[in-house]
Amino acid sequence: MIKIFPQFEEDLLIRLFHKGVKAQWTVSDVEWEQPLMMQDDQARALAHMLTPVYLGEQSAMIGASVVLPQMAMAGETTSQIYLSSFLMDEARHFEVLTQLYRRLEEDPLNIRQMPAMLRYHNRLRKGDRIDWVWGILISDVFAKNFYQIFSRSQPEALFGSLSGRILQDESRHQAFAEHYLKRAVPTLEPERLKDLVKMKDDLLGTMDNMYEHLLDDAKRLNIDGRKFLDDLRAEIEHKADRIGLSDNRHDDGENSMKRVFQGIGDGVKTATQDLSSKFQALKASNCDTCFVALLCRTRLVTTARCV
């Protein structure tokens, strides 16, 4: 897995890594004394609506640590290097949102209050690193759209300015995921492509379900929850199309998929066959039903019983 002096080109992923390294910031750079510019009931609504994004930040951090060795096994050197900065970004978002909850003086929802969150993250952990990158892209688009609402409408407020910082990181994450998938997708068999399309549909369906529980909170923040979800779906479908994962491309007769990119492609197959353990590293021996057993031990989840 570890190679001394691997050969690698200075590609987009290395450029994204350099950008990420130069753009680092910490919780202490945030101006916490900035006004919230919201009423108490709106602060509570934000705490609720932010919960899936908050869990997503932590989940992305843990997931990156699981797929990084898979990329190493497949010889994807520049992806490994890039992912190190991704992991640092997500850790920072996780930390900073934890601090935000303290400032809001509110708690996130727990899994018992919104069980669909667990279904969503359970779906994210299935499969290999390509599934993970695809799921992370969908989650990042979701997070980006959420942060954008506040960054555009309240740039002088605490969460609005914080959202602006996080969005810069998220734009690199999306660039990575699209680039990675555009190279990997042409190498996959039609059945595998169908699974990825299904994954998108599952995740979008679960998102709908999650936010049906949050429509009142959305209203309190003057957010049109239905429009948010419809726009999100349209954007993800558009990305799916650009990547080569639109629904209508993958009928059974599609055996003519081009396999022009060998670098990632060969590694993808190898790793898919060899790394059957995939996300199993995250599974605790006494936790069979939860996504990321590690998440089950967090404060967010411990109020719901993980068996």
Stretch that binds Fe ion, among 163-171, 179-187, 190-198, 215-223 (CB under 5 A): 163-171
Q: Which positions from 171 through 190 interact with Fe ion, judged by CB under 5 A?
A: 173
Stretch that binds Fe ion, among 85-93, 190-198, 221-229, 239-247 (CB under 5 A): 85-93
CA pair distance 208, 219, nearest whole angstrom: 16
30: left (phi over 0), alpha (psi -120 to 50) or beta: beta
- Minimum CB distance to Fe ion, residue 62 (Å): 12
Pick from 271, 291, 270: nearest CA to 282 = 291
CA pair distance 231, 244, nearest whole angstrom: 20
Q: Judged by CB under 5 A, does residue 92 bind Fe ion? A: no
User: Which one of 62, 72, 85, 93 is in contact with Fe ion (CB under 5 A)?
Assistant: 93
Tell me whether residue 93 or residue 194 sits nearer to Fe ion (CB atom).
93
Q: Judged by CB under 5 A, does residue 140 bind Fe ion? A: yes
CA pair distance 282, 284, nearest whole angstrom: 6
What is the token pair recorded at 25?
């910031």
The CA-based dihedral angle spanning residues 53, 179, 172, 207, taken in that order and rounded to the nearest 10 degrees = -10
The CA-based dihedral angle spanning residues 238, 57, 123, 304, taken in that order and rounded to the nearest 10 degrees = -140
CA pair distance 49, 45, nearest whole angstrom: 6
What is the token pair recorded at 181?
């998938």
User: Which one of 38, 49, 51, 57 is in contact with Fe ion (CB under 5 A)?
Assistant: 57
- Minimum CB distance to Fe ion, residue 82 (Å): 12
Tell me whether residue 38 or residue 83 sits nearer to Fe ion (CB atom).
83
CA–CA distances in Å: residue 101 to residues 112, 167, 266: 19, 19, 44
Tell me whether residue 72 or residue 143 sits nearer to Fe ion (CB atom).
143
Stretch that binds Fe ion, among 20-28, 168-176, 251-259, 292-300 (CB under 5 A): 168-176
Pick from 149, 229, 134: nearest CA to 182 = 134
Stretch that binds Fe ion, among 32-40, 87-95, 176-184, 257-265 (CB under 5 A): 87-95
Stretch that binds Fe ion, among 4-12, 132-140, 208-216, 259-267 (CB under 5 A): 132-140
CA pair distance 166, 96, nearest whole angstrom: 10
CB-based contact 200:131 (threshold 8 Å): no
Total residues at interface with Fe ion (CB under 5 A): 6
CB-based contact 268:133 (threshold 8 Å): no
- Minimum CB distance to Fe ion, residue 292 (Å): 16
- Minimum CB distance to Fe ion, residue 55 (Å): 11
- Minimum CB distance to Fe ion, residue 256 (Å): 34
Q: Judged by CB under 5 A, does residue 144 bind Fe ion? A: no
List the x/- string, 205-244, binding to Fe ion by CB under 5 A. Answer: ----------------------------------------
Tell me whether residue 96 or residue 114 sits nearer to Fe ion (CB atom).
96
Residue numbers of the site for Fe ion (CB under 5 A)? 57, 90, 93, 140, 170, 173
